A = this chain, B = another copy of it.
Amino acid sequence: MAVGVTYPLGFRAAGVTAGIKASGRPDVALVVADGDAVAAGVFTRSRTAGAPVLLCRQRLAASGGRARAVVVSSGNANVATGPQGRRDAARMAALTAESSGVGAGVLVCSTGVIGVPLPMARVEAGIRSAAAALAVDGGDDAAIAICTTDSHPKLACRAIEVGGREVRIGGMAKGAGMIRPDLGTMIAVLTTDAAIESAPLQALLSSAAARSFNRITVDGCQSTSDSVIVLAGGGSGAVVDGDAVGAFAAALDGVCLDLALAIVADGEGARRIGRYEVVGAYDEADAERAARHVAEDQLVRCALHGADPNWGRIVAALGVCGAVVDGDRIAIDLGGVPLVRDGMAVPGAAAAAGVAARADEVHVRIDLGLGAAAATIWGSDLSTDYVIANAEYTT
């Protein structure tokens, strides 16, 4: 039994090789609910969002939050492809609806190279193959087929009890990678067998995404295709409302965070994760702003890579992050070692901090000393492998 999108009852999935990728690896995935399903999605805020993102937004709005299936192609993002690209995305949805028998209600995601029209003959053949291969244990195949340069597929699941019934949530995601090389994209598809209305599902997904996918960074480059979609099929027979919403929300948060952290850990060239926890901020927006700015700062990321407890770079990044900051109040701990108090070095801390900086996940705790708000951002390090992957292997 797959732990991904076919973990909840009432879903089938498949992943096949359509030949979009030159590598010959799987590149078309399909996730289909057995019956009507409630759907919600969160998408990139990019103003050059790809045709699939535009299609998903439009269809979720028009249907009032309902969908039956998600088709994902990898190897080509169908971005910056003009009117033809928008027709191709619509064709992918229509063909999926027809060949899988769902009739309508298909959402589309594509990830990969930007600016090249989709090879539609291959995509169409792939969709037909995937529809024929749909299976109740197809979640693993689907998770493999959405990857680009991810080093491994990413799956997660949770189960909770609602009114004596088991409710399951499963999901798959792909990380920021390079293909050919080009801008990678973050895509996640979640499923649940909970029976839940569209409005709360969208609210819970938005909330979960804000605390997971929106709190990670690999290279600070938001993609044109980032999409997180959830389908709720109701197969468990358990209705999620009232008191049950809290447990469902926590499980959904857990699946999203598992997938998000798997993306960071598998970031291009990543050696270790930084967990940047900002406390004592004036408000939560400031806390997130500060944590994100530090996590994305190139010099901080180089220091994380080199296991260098170089806190001066953190102070410098805080100074320009846009949050309210008082240099004389900053306190910084690295891996539990107090490095900075009152904006100045803690004498003799360097050796212990140097050891702590070599962990696989380095916890950087920053106390701004101004208020009670907090936020955490997870980020990867910046390595020579990242630069080589994105510069030396030119198109």
Contacts and interface: CB of A to CB of B under 8 A. Distances in A.
A69 interface: no
A340 B48 CA distance: 14
B182 A115 contact: no
Q: Which of A350, A392, A393 has the most CB of B within 10 A?
A: A392
Interface in A63-96: 77, 79-82
A391 B391 CA distance: 18
Interface in A36-66: 44-49
A181 B305 CA distance: 14
A311 interface: yes
Interface size class of A (residues with CB under 8 A): 35 or more
B221 A327 contact: no
Contacts of A316: 46, 48, 79, 114, 183, 221-224
A183 B319 contact: no
Contacts of A307: 394
Contacts of A47: 318-320, 324-327
Interface stretch (A137-145, A147-155, A296-304): A296-304
Contacts of A49: 319, 327
Interface of A: 44-49, 77, 79-82, 113-116, 181-183, 219-224, 297-299, 302-303, 305-313, 315-320, 324-328, 330, 340, 342-345, 350, 354, 381-384, 386-388, 390-395
29 contacts: A46-B319, A46-B320, A47-B320, A47-B326, A48-B315, A48-B316, A48-B319, A48-B343, A49-B319, A80-B330, A80-B344, A81-B344, A82-B328, A82-B342, A114-B313, A114-B316, A182-B313, A183-B299, A221-B299, A221-B317, A222-B316, A224-B319, A298-B382, A302-B390, A306-B392, A308-B391, A350-B395, A384-B388, A384-B391
Nearest to A320: B222
A312 B318 CA distance: 31
Nearest to A317: B221
B390 A387 contact: no
A311 B182 CA distance: 9
B344 A395 contact: no
Contacts of A221: 297-299, 313, 316-317
A381 B391 CA distance: 10
A121 to B, nearest CB: 19
A350 B180 CA distance: 14
